Amino acid sequence: KAGVTQTPRYLIKTRGQQVTLSCSPISGHRSVSWYQQTPGQGLQFLFEYFSETQRNKGNFPGRFSGRQFSNSRSEMNVSTLELGDSALYLCATRTSGSPGEQFFGPGTRLTVL
């Protein structure tokens, strides 16, 4: 079974631009969560999608948004990029609606200049 894939793996943007990151879950996984990892704040939950619906949201500004498609693939978008948005963005997927092991992708390294 193929693992979680994230594209692109690396991205360089300038302040004010917007960016879209993509996550393809393991086949059969309907839950997709997004996390931001920075040296200062560590790993922080952004949001979770399940069956195309956002089920939970972390404490991030509205510039951070996401969506999930009918094939469970998910995208997250960050608008009006700030320097502080530079981070490793990780998506994690799992099978059912009950809590359990999450499978992480390799991440997208976003650098904002």
Residues that bind other proteins (CB under 8 A): 4, 31, 33, 35, 42-45, 48, 50, 55-56, 58-59, 88, 90, 92, 94, 97-107, 109
Minimum Å gap between C-beta 62 and other proteins is 18
**Closer to other proteins by Cβ: residue 58 or 67:** 58
**Closer to other proteins by Cβ: residue 78 or 90:** 90
**Closer to other proteins by Cβ: residue 31 or 74:** 31
Q: Provide the 8-state DSSP code for 9.
A: S
User: What does the alpha-carbon distance between residue 86 and residue 3 come to, in Å, rounded to a whole number?
Assistant: 25
Task: Using alpha carbons, list the distances in angstroms from residue 55 to 17, 60, 82.
Answer: 27, 15, 26
Task: Using alpha carbons, list the distances in angstroms from residue 45 to 25, 90, 105.
Answer: 17, 10, 15
Minimum Å gap between C-beta 92 and other proteins is 8
**Closer to other proteins by Cβ: residue 39 or 62:** 39
User: What does the alpha-carbon distance between residue 15 and residue 80 come to, in Å, rounded to a whole number?
Assistant: 7
Minimum Å gap between C-beta 69 and other proteins is 19
